[in-house]
Amino acid sequence: MDEINQLRKKAGVMLINSGTLMRICKRQVFREKKFAITPEQFEVLAILAEEDGLYQRQIAAIMLKDRPNITRIINILESGGYVNRVEDTNRRKVFKVFLTEKGHAIYEQIQPAIYEMRNEINVGIEKEDIEICLEVLGKFQANLEKKVNMQI
């Protein structure tokens, strides 16, 4: 295997491992802090905190989750009182999802722990390194998006 292919293989393995370690780290933080929701559920709340009133399919696309998974997550959040679904008046059986006061409150409770975790895992990484990493990951993701046919 030539050098460029070895580097590509190593980069792929490191991306997979980094993603796995990030998920494990988040789960540990949520367990240690005894948060009432899961990291996946928090991700939905974080998306809605940034832009409330999204359609379920928009949330699914952002999270790269299929419809059954995102529906399950939103059902759990709704039953916990963290979000409300509101039917779109122009389209039947299409719902927008909104944060409730309880959803905002738990988002605000958890967000500092997420910032702290990010700060800890980014120790020793300079801003310029992050910018380069984002540029490379952006290219990688764009190439993958061309290749993958997501059914969301």
36-134 folds as: Arc Repressor Mutant, subunit A (1.10.10)
Please name which of 39, 15, 17, 26 lies closest in space to residue 118, comparing C-alpha atoms. 26
The DSSP code for 122 is: T
The whole-angstrom distance between residue 116's C-alpha and the CA centroid of its chain comes to 17
77: left (phi over 0), alpha (psi -120 to 50) or beta: alpha
Q: Which pLDDT band holds residue 151 (cuts at 50, 70, 90)?
A: low
pLDDT tens sequence across 90-149: 877 789 999 999 999 999 999 999 999 999 999 999 999 999 999 999 998 999 888 887
pTM over 0.85: yes
Radius of gyration of the chain (CA): 18
User: What's the mean pLDDT in 35-56?
Assistant: 97
pLDDT of residue 150: 66
pLDDT of residue 145: 86
- Hey, which bits of the chain come out as E strands? 54-55, 83-87, 95-99
